[in-house]
Amino acid sequence: QQQVKQSPQSLIVQKGGIPIINCAYENTAFDYFPWYQQFPGKGPALLIAIRPDVSEKKEGRFTISFNKSAKQFSLHIMDSQPGDSATYFCAASSQSNYQLIWGAGTKLIIKP
């Protein structure tokens, strides 16, 4: 019940396309859903996060869509660029237990 399942494991998209990375969770107590971006040789960095009181959040070219009834959330990258090539992690946590539960990561490659 503590798991966060992330898919796909890897994704290759042409420049300008819209990669979509999906995550699913079981624990209904989760109330914070961040996405982290990790470049090679660097630590993960917070990209965007959402709480379950909204169904969508946009920051620049990055959008989180959240479906509370389905217990799923996804990351969309609009007008993707080669510089977006990185590993993306979804995660979830609850206020009662602050420990972040991480997805397994998605390696995204944007081809020029």
Partner 1 sequence: DTAVSQTPKYLVTQMGNDKSIKCEQNLGHDTMYWYKQDSKKFLKIMFSYNNKELIINETVPNRFSPKSPDKAHLNLHINSLELGDSAVYFCASSPKGGSEKLFFGSGTQLSVL
Q: Are 102 and 3 in contact (CB under 8 A)?
A: no
CB of 79 to partner 1, least distance (A): 25
Q: Please, which residue, 29 or 100, has the CB nearer to partner 1?
A: 100
- Residue 59 to residue 98: CA distance in whole angstroms: 24
Q: Please, which residue, 41 or 112, has the CB nearer to partner 1?
A: 41
Q: Please, which residue, 76 or 107, has the CB nearer to partner 1?
A: 107
CB atoms within 10 A of CB 99: 10
Residue 72 C-alpha from the chain's centroid: 11
Interface with partner 1 (CB under 8 A): 32, 34, 36, 38, 41-46, 49, 87, 89, 91, 93, 95, 98-100, 102, 104-105, 107
CB of 73 to partner 1, least distance (A): 16
Residue count of the chain: 112
